[in-house]
């Protein structure tokens, strides 16, 4: 009994480590030369709610076409402004993560606080660039 409990515990631990490693994290590269800068607060929200689909390895082609976070590290002013406008619009309309995802997995939704954090970061960034 004790041994099987221990076995189960170690399997669960291994599973959670594997899971954590799979989760994609947005890390600002040392050679980032773009004008778009991320606040630590914005990165935290993006990492927990916006990374599954908008990464180079995502299987969601539409999401990749719309935005790949890693590419924004090298954006100049024009692309940075366009991207910030897109993000702001998606926040104002409550479009991201997509409705179907949130319906299937309610915890995928942005909380009000997370949406406010992202919005504040977008607005500060726009003010700096404009």
Give just the sign of the alpha carbon dihedral 96, 72, 22, 46: negative
What is the nearest approach in angstroms of ligand HEC to the Cβ of residue 7? 35
Q: Which one of the spans 5-13, 17-25, 33-41, 48-56 is the region binding ligand HEC (CB under 6 A)?
A: 48-56
Q: Which is nearer to ligand HEC, 11 or 116 (CB)?
A: 116
d(CA 36, CA 59): 25
- Note whether 31 binds ligand HEC by CB under 6 A: no
- In contact, 49 and 108? CB cutoff 8 Å: yes
Among 55, 90, 117, 125, binds ligand HEC (CB under 6 A): 90
Angle between helices 77-93 and 112-129 (to 10 degrees): 150
Give one DSSP letter per residue of 3-61, joined into a string: HHHHHHHHHHHHHHHHHHHHS------TT---S----HHHHHHHHHHTTTTSSTT-S-H
What residues from 94 to 113 belong to the interface with ligand HEC (CB under 6 A)?
95-98, 101, 110
Q: Which is nearer to ligand HEC, 62 or 130 (CB)?
A: 62
Among 26, 36, 42, 49, binds ligand HEC (CB under 6 A): 49
Q: Using CB under 6 A, list all residues that contact ligand HEC.
A: 49-50, 52-54, 60, 62-63, 66-67, 86-87, 90, 95-98, 101, 110
């Amino acid at each position: 009994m004790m041994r099987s409990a221990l076995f189960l515990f170690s399997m669960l631990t291994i599973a959670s480590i594997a899971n954590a490693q799979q989760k994609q994290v947005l890390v600002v590269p040392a050679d980032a030369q773009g004008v778009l800068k991320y606040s630590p607060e914005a990165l935290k929200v993006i990492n927990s709610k916006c990374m599954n689909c908008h990464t180079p390895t995502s299987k969601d082609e539409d999401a990749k076409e719309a935005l790949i976070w890693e590419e924004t590290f090298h954006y100049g002013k024009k692309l940075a402004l366009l991207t910030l406008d897109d993000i702001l619009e998606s926040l104002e309309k409550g479009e991201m993560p997509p409705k179907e995802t949130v319906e299937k997995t309610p915890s995928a939704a942005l909380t009000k606080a997370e949406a406010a954090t992202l919005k504040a970061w977008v607005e500060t960034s726009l003010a700096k660039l404009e």
